[in-house]
Structure 1
Amino acid sequence: MAFLYALVARGSVVLAEFSATSTNASAIARQILEKIPGNADTHVSYSQDRYIFHVKRTDGLTVLCMADENAGRRTPFAFLEDIHQRFVRTYGRAVHSAHAYAMNDEFSRVLSQQMEYYSNDPNADRINRLKGEMSQVRNVMIENIDKVLDRGDRLELLVDKTANMQGNTFRFRKQARRFRSTVWWRNVKLTFLCCKLSQILLYAISSTWLSRMSALFVVLVVTREVVQTVLVYLSIA
């Protein structure tokens, strides 16, 4: 799974969160929330090990996710934008006064569903490409998490490898289907070639029995047929 953790917060107050695997990403996310400078809207990414924390803050509401580095930037920020819109549309002005985890029971399920969708459904990235990459995302620089956290505050990121295995399984199945299709077409081409050569051989034998005097003609015909068959096979391959 490309997305392993996500939260929605007002300042440093977490309103909802969800983790797809056993990890201490929640503790690191809280450190990031406390250390992000200023109150202005921002789009920023911080890397740690093979994972990246993507942050989107708009109108005082912060949406954060932790994703595998292979997820890139477009899809994570599309996910954050989607979550932000859903959260504001669902709770409206209540987000400005809600206490910690006030929306967690209900909205954690939404986080889980959308993390699954953006991790595994190929239509998610296809839709993002059709919409075009957000202008803010093009300017996002991925910085090391040490730049926002003090060395003494930094926590080592611990992630259950099961989540990565799920993502690898999905990619393996896709590659296996492509390989089976390639092998099937190769077998079709080989069968066609064998049938054609058998036809040529039978033609040569029958022609030889009908007229021994036309042996040279038979050889020429067979040679021509073989050449044509090879050319057809090469064009199909």
Structure 2
Amino acid sequence: MTISYSCVANGRVILAELALTGGSHQDAVSSVLKLVLLKAEKKTRARIGSYVYHTLFIDGITYLCASDNPLEVTLPSAFLDEVSRTYSENPMMFQEPFTPSNATVADLQQVLGKCMMKYNQSQSEFMISALKSQVTDVKNTMSQNIDKMLKREEKLNVLIDRTDDLHVATKALQKTKASKMWWRNYNIIIIIISSIFIIIIIILIGTNVIPV
């Protein structure tokens, strides 16, 4: 990926610009700046022709760059962040936002040139850094998912333990009830047998089978 063009604009007025390759970006940049003002969003991407235009819109100032890789987002975003920081940290650049002097334009172009050279030469390092960051994000997401699964499993185990405890308690209660019922039936049988025995004795005594 190569950042072939960049500029800083106030509204639709370009304060400074720099192109590393031939070809005109004016019409495309004009359309993109108009889109930025209409959307008023911090970041915008637009593909026009063979280039992708990335913008960063802060306090009315638009930082723009064009790259030739439609899939790369991290590098242009980092480039625009650095240009915006450099611009905002230089108070002299803010004194002439509408009609910048030649010196201010030269300073802006120097900032753009240094950043473009830096990011174009170091794109492999930035891509590796971005990949590491993505791997870290995936790792963190997986760790969070595993933690959630472990917590759900722990809650499930607690629920199973409670269910087992309830099952054991139910069995114990049923056993206690069965024991009480057995003793109750046993007492009833004893009472019935005793009653029958007493009635037989009374009958035998009444019929003089058993002398008194």
TM-score, scaled to structure 2: 0.54
Instruction: Report the counterpart of residue 67 of structure 1 in structure 2.
Output: 67
Task: Give 1:75 deviation, angstroms.
Answer: 0.8
Task: Give 1:40 deviation, angstroms.
Answer: 3.3
Structure 1's 93 and 109: CA in aligned 2 closer, same or farther, altered over 3 A?
A: closer
Task: Give 1:38 deviation, angstroms.
Answer: 3.6
| Unaligned segments of structure 2, at least 5 residues | 135-212
* Cα deviation code 1:180-225 (max 9, x no counterpart): xxxxxxxxxxxxxxxxxxxxxxxxxxxxxxxxxxxxxxxxxxxxxx
Instruction: Report the counterpart of residue 9 of structure 1 in structure 2.
Output: 9
Instruction: Report the counterpart of residue 47 of structure 2 in structure 1.
Output: 47
Instruction: Report the counterpart of residue 124 of structure 1 in structure 2.
Output: 126
| Unaligned segments of structure 1, at least 5 residues | 133-237
Instruction: Report the counterpart of residue 215 of structure 1 in structure 2.
Output: none
Instruction: Report the counterpart of residue 81 of structure 1 in structure 2.
Output: 81
**Where does 1:90-101 land on structure 2 (aligned, <5 Å)?**
90-91=90-91, 94=94, 97-99=97-99
User: Helix, strand or coil for the counterpart of 2:90?
Assistant: helix
Q: Distance in 1 between matches of 2:110 and 2:93?
A: 21
Q: Distance in 2 between matches of 1:11 and 1:99?
A: 13
**Where does 1:101-116 land on structure 2 (aligned, <5 Å)?**
103-116=104-117
Larger radius of gyration: 2
Task: Give 1:126 deviation, angstroms.
Answer: 4.1
Q: Distance in 2 between matches of 1:127 and 1:95?
A: 36
Structure 1's 24 and 80: CA in aligned 2 closer, same or farther, altered over 3 A?
A: same
Preserved CA contact (<8 Å) 2:52 2:67: yes
Q: Distance in 1 between matches of 2:54 and 2:4?
A: 12
TM-score, scaled to structure 1: 0.49
Structure 1's 86 and 36: CA in aligned 2 closer, same or farther, altered over 3 A?
A: same
Instruction: Report the counterpart of residue 28 of structure 2 in structure 1.
Output: 28
Preserved CA contact (<8 Å) 1:75 1:118: yes
Task: Give 1:35 deviation, angstroms.
Answer: 3.7
Preserved CA contact (<8 Å) 2:11 2:37: no
Q: Which has the higher contact order (CA 8 A, sep 6+)?
A: 1
The number of residue pairs the alignment matches comes to: 133
Structure 1's 91 and 130: CA in aligned 2 closer, same or farther, altered over 3 A?
A: farther
Q: Distance in 1 between matches of 2:73 and 2:38?
A: 23
Deviates more, 1:103-112 or 1:39-48: 39-48
Q: Distance in 1 between matches of 2:73 and 2:128?
A: 14
Instruction: Give identity over the alignment, percent.
Output: 21
